[in-house]
């Protein structure tokens, strides 16, 4: 019972970390209060944090209705079993799909239309694991049981089907590594000179 109570209050700490990341990464986020009230993608993420908690403790009578309602209200499909660390930003959010066995590290920025999905219908681990401080451009698809390293930038509309080492820039269909061991500002500049902008 104590663990359940601790985990429930942990939701609010996670939301606070999400808000801190929004302030860092979203130009319109001039205050926590503003982003809390106007960002529907944050609302979808908050909803996920609650229905994921209920799902973890098998309170399905609350988890699944909240999950369905969240999909309708925010146009995002985040499975209750997906593991999203505190301090993640989903910008715009429309069309984002995050599969059941996906994992996302803190500091990650996800734009609209991103899919973290499976390559084929199967049981078990079938969705990607995203490291920390990753940027995933609009419309990108990251598919299968693959690992995306920390500080990776994935260009918009890219289709990633393989493991990506940390500090890499990947673009294309299928995605190819265009730059290794690069800092984020250089990767943004490079990605803007391609057809796969962030």
15-42 pLDDT, tens per residue? Answer: 999 999 999 888 877 888 888 888 999 9
Indicate the domain borders of the chain: 2-192
Length of the chain: 198
| pLDDT, tens digit (0-9, with 9 covering 90-100), for 71-111 | 999 999 999 999 999 999 999 889 999 999 999 999 999 99
Whether 100 and 81 have beta carbons less than 8 Å apart is answered as yes
In angstroms, rounded to a whole number, what is the distance separating the alpha carbons of residues 33 and 4? 28
Give the pTM.
0.88
CATH of 2-192, one of 3.30.70.20, 3.40.718.10, 3.30.9.90, 2.160.10.10: 2.160.10.10
Q: Of 130, 170, 124, 162, nearest to 144 (Cα)?
A: 162
């Amino acid at each position: 019972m104590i663990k359940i109570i601790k985990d429930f209050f942990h939701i609010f700490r996670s939301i606070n970390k999400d808000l801190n990341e929004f302030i860092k990464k979203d130009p319109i986020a001039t205050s926590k209060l503003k982003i809390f009230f106007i960002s529907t993608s944050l609302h979808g993420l908050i909803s996920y944090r609650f229905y994921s908690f209920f799902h973890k403790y098998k309170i399905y009578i609350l988890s699944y209705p909240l999950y369905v309602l969240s999909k309708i209200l925010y146009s995002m499909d985040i499975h209750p079993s997906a593991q999203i660390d505190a301090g993640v930003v989903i910008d715009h959010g429309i069309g984002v799909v995050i599969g059941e066995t996906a994992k996302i590290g803190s500091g990650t920025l996800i734009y609209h239309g991103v899919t973290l999905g499976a390559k084929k219908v199967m049981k078990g681990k079938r969705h990607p694991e995203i490291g920390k401080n990753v940027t995933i451009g609009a419309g990108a698809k990251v598919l299968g049981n693959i690992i995306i390293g920390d500080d990776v930038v994935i260009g918009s509309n890219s289709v990633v089907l393989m493991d990506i080492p940390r500090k890499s820039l990947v673009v294309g269909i299928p995605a190819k590594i265009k730059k290794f061991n690069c800092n984020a500002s250089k990767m943004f500049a490079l990605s803007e000179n391609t057809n796969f902008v962030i």
